[in-house]
Structure 1
């Protein structure tokens, strides 16, 4: 059983600060690498500026030009100048030995660790003069290598004493061939050793414990799996342990921090894991070292830095002193813990569970999801295989018995469904897929099963069946309604056009329905001559479609015609129709225009109910008539409808239209001005007939158009 602790001591701000420090350290490291050659160049630039009596920038330009002429790198030329060749350095090629030694010295100043110092010395100068390897030994002991660059050769060796920040070491250069150095070359090497000694005084190295005491420990750690490291203490001037240095780190530990073992070795612990101080782990390490008492920390969440980014990990730690070192190990539990959490989450989200019955030992294993599916508390424990039927709905016991027969007698996989009563009172439909494992003798010794909750799926299937049945009924009703719509159109509109003459007036109309339009929107128009010779006009559209729209149209058209023949004015007719639509539980709505042309006075009296006002086309110019007040029929109990009067002149056109003509296929905010320009153009080309025949092309649905022409 793993006890998990959660530490919140390291705040998000602290983590961000640590990450920023790490990124800055990486930037500084990059700058140090760039300065490995920059120092020599800057020194040469200053010397040239003084000797040539010019500024540093011109001196550097001069240095670059001479480098190109001599076909030699800038840094090599700079090294020649610093080596004492002076102005002659840019004219005559010197010996390369001093040049490379200067380059090595310049690179050494950029080193941040003992291994890095050995690498810089070899690669940035010494390898070019015949050095095969560079090593730092503890107290000159060849068996105690603290840092090394290059292969361990057996050639001639040159040694120089070096004092690091915490240990006496020896710089050893191994030559591939006997060097045969001139006095000037030896002086250059002595000067390099002084530079290395200066750099070494600021570098930490592992405590000089005899190698034979640690070699076996490193070998053991390298052979076993796990995250471990060997630490050496770092003391302050008063003798207190203020940090540890990593002497050895396993490969698994380097994988955790995203840094190689070589990068970890020589690092200080608090630089590597600064959060240990805030969590008290560092103090526990110091206590374990000083008092030689083992330390163990249970599994706890920690926030560590991985490639400069914070990561939250579950770690268990141990520490024990071995000789003069502290052996630290840690166990990364995130993978197992996260895997368990993922499986649990998968069971919760997917409604799954796993069960296993070991018939040989009697051991039974149920996952948390399996308990949940069967509505059983984990404290009650799992149920035996032969008692599984007691957990299911009584009507489904036969399914469980068939499952046992397949698994235990027939020894074949089984796939069954049954219902399980849940503590919340609902029934769950469970699908159980199971198989049995047999011994070589053919006896069943293990049964494994995966259960899944398919309640929603079965419910969805039932809903789908009901929906399909309802859709079938709706399709039948829709087909019947379409047939009724067709018949209604034939009844209401036996002809799609009208053409009526009256004294001083001619009326043309068009009711247009697209072939593919199966709706019945009940747009309507009507024109009839009254007994007194006046012309009665009506046009409108119903809000809605289908049978309800047809019924509303019936309640409007014929009462309007009857009242018009009786001599009622348009506004009075609209008020009566509005009252009629408000009779009943639900008021239907419609837009409508009613007009009466007085033949004796050549005057048009009209009213509107939430409908587009007609357009007057006179002398080739179209304008929309000012609309009297009026709202949709059926919208308000008392609409308050008004009337307007228009005196017609010969050749005037009054164009009434439904909104299908005005707004069909027009992707503009206000299509009416464009429509009136179209009326002007068509009337100018072919008169009322051209308007009537062409305007319908602008409609994308059922629509009506009525044109009154004054003679």
Structure 2
């Protein structure tokens, strides 16, 4: 019978009824299983052979499935049950799955097959699209069976061949950049020992270069508070980090440019003050009281190109000159205030 089941591509097992001395069925033993048989706890194929149904799946007792098995053995009628939710409590935490079961009598035994309805193909495609668009992938680690699984997107994020399998949670720090090793290792230890949820950024090196990743994970614990399972996701933040670095570089460039402009304006103002000083008080020239007011035409820069001069001539008269450079605003603002009556100006 095992050879026959080994040729099947669906979940199917051979059940042998175990009877009491009074002839009543107390349990069933799995004596053969197809390679694709997977139960709610992830046990597959040969791992199921030899297990007893009620010892392995105790909540089946008294359900419509149990009654259907009994009726099929008694009458030979094929049992096809409605989809039902099965909940298993293992290591102190519940796991639920939805199944449709079919049972057929084979002599004094049963052939039971089932279909798991936990996720439809459409839901799987949606989940895959969400992971791809968010550049993240889910991961799970069973600490009691030392088994772990990654979604396809996690393999893409780590640039890892799926045939190599997922990386154990304890081994994860070995694959990160040395600068991030201590922080990620401490976070993983908190998760595994104390069951504390983590949200930790870190970097890895791949064939395509350095990638900035984020691990978000939480632990499920048993009745004693010991972590037994870890669920979480990895997210690739490389593109986001590159954009942040580019923005910072742009801001730095703007600040440098502002500093250069400020320095240039300061230098221009000093040069102008050297070449064209503004008197701090009135000047006496040829019997005149001279005041200067200089206001550039352009605001903000505070540097203009106008020029002026006042000269006392040998005959004690005053010569006033006001001008502007080409392309500069005219008239310049250089008013003069007379303190007396000059002989000639």
TM-score norm. by structure 1 comes to 0.24
Higher alpha-carbon Rg: 1
Question: Which structure shows the bigger proportion of residues in strand conformation?
Answer: 2
Question: Which structure shows the bigger proportion of residues in helix conformation?
Answer: 1
TM-score norm. by structure 2 comes to 0.45
